[in-house]
Chains A and B, each alone.
Chain A
């Protein structure tokens, strides 16, 4: 293994961030330019949205369930078991729904994008596309970014809902709470700000997942091994960034919405 000097490493990192920023900015700019690849976008939306639905539903359901289980143990000590719905609801909508849906889509689709575009890159299909007069940024990147942002938005709502359902299942079957009370509690506690935070996050996460997946794919080199490496790096980078950005958006939005 060759050692890289810290300055070399820092230079590469700055260069990578710069390249990613350019790719990301262009992917959004393309939305306002011709040609627009609507059918490619729909195809990606199907792949990302419909494809990720089962995994997001299951993740949401079980997380909601385990939240209720743990919340109940603490709340019971204070005799306020009835607040279970409230706890599940706040955690799911504000933090866990967006984060979990984001992480699931990162695992499934950032990797998929990196490996698909990476294979195209190392077999010169990207160059062939450019040579045929098509802008890969318009044909490949923008449809993925747009589709991921829109689909992750809805997947998050679905994840939230199934999280609440999971919490409800546990409170009904395990804790024997009143159904009406659970849902009422869950609904009443949500403030406008919570919902806004919970719905802005998936837009950011979707943008991150798709641009990072495409970036690693389009910059991969070194044959099939290089594509494998790009795929892993894309998932790692997207996941870490989702968690980091989640923290900072929570901070920021809580401050702004005060």
Chain B
């Protein structure tokens, strides 16, 4: 018989946990859900836009009744659980019926705090929490004129703005002298107040409510200093209290909230709790992003997989008042020893402040221009060292030439539905907005899975996140603080790399066992990554696993859209001889290559080759002295060179010769992603060395070394690593830089985002400042090259992996 799972609370955290559970174990439990409200689960954070008239109630339903039915869930709406009997393992509902459980999930949310002043129980005094409250407010707005909102925090201001939009005269009463003091510092709060006053809101600051006036129905509010304001409606928005009554009565340990451990288990091991009713490591949360993380962990344990841990969250907030841009995160008020960076432009109504400690962002407040909020938040969460771009950080992400579309987020909501967002998969803005609405998507991962937007090259990620934020509201798009490498594991790339290196894991199976992989074979995302990490860390020991490579690397050619392959032989530094060209021409004739082209990487591409012909063709090329160009791999691609000193009248050094040396040293090496080099003979830079992963620009007095550039959808110009005097040094620095990237880069992370993630300083320290470390890195690179510089073509022409290329014939 199936086990019984009962969920108390049909809200955002509870249903998120069930969705996650169904993904993992669709049929482990008979699930019954009790909800006090008469509705199916809806998006509570969208109540503000509903109140303001920007959305309808129907638009914000997350799980329609069919969802419960389709998943075999028994739903009791408008039915509160009144008692939990832990000994008998059953709950009693409002009708007095009892229901048995094996596991119980408590997700009762929180209740608005009503200040206990005389008259607080009068008619017309309400909180702002659910659809019923919104209906009440709309009714008052239609029939009455004066509203008082007590509380100048996030919730209070959204309520006030909504009521004002609906035509009421609104006064906001706040106990302190500064609005939203939990999210804003004083300058930002002052700007916000001025904006809201312009929109017609009245404020009473430092006002302590003493009594609610009226006979039966509210008529006004009196304050401690004796003054009064008239009111037909009073909305109390001074805070929320975790809803713990039920749990407490059942004897479950509660403090402010229901106390849970890192697996979201309460003190009763059969009972889990998630959401605003929970207290974890002393914190109670009131935003959805952390609740969703909790839900994922609880689901994992309910599914009896048992490996997720919730370790607390850093949260950020945005105010959902149309036309007011405000963002805050972390410790936005500096304490002793912190530095602050401030940008103030009163004329534009812009204020930005970052609190910095040890070159890391600790907190941020943005007002008027919140475009870079997500970026700062990422830097904060990942504790990125910002010293390399500290000088321009306040101007935003686009200013440092990041690899994404950091600058476009503000304008993206203004784009028409037909605007193409993801060029790789041809996904338009309208498709994304539709999918978010119809399928109830919350995260970038989900949008990727359903629309394919941002699932390929990823450069439209910023745009997709902006659409997500603009469509579903803030709080949703925040990825969990630490992302698992893929669906198979909770461990991040860094965790996996560290485990491979420090625990000496030398096979894929060992990694999956040590780190609790959920799927025994892994998936198409983690297998190639693990294969790479093992290959990079244990050269000579780890056996490459062909079945864990993408087809291009398995077949050593680039699969084309018609299933044929392209063949690109290596031409070191782009140099070639008449004999070599003749050999290529002969091969092209012999195998009837339908099209050839000179690539941007200075070599020749032969398109349209049938898979079965590859080995024979490679043999001919190999006999003529060619090796694979790895034009298909996450590997060293090309070294582009210019004419250089030998021929060019501007040339300062032998750029061509140096390029050939570099390519001889580096060819064949596997990388986290593709890797390109270039050498230009003078600063005119004909070889475009400043958009390469590693570029050399020759000057009279030596060689400038550049790193972390890339062309592509969003160009990133290199950072200057240093200048060196000799060709030997160029080779040494290049090998060391490559090895550092090979050891630290995440699989499928190019050098540009890697440099931005770890910071230029980090790389300079390891490669430039520490000469011993540089030599060690170089040694490790050269050692691994002794295993890597085996031409895959020659090996396969001689029969290796022949099953890969021969179709079976029917016997």
Whether A and B are associated in the same complex: the answer reads no
Q: Which A positions have Cβ atoms within 8 angstroms of B? A: none
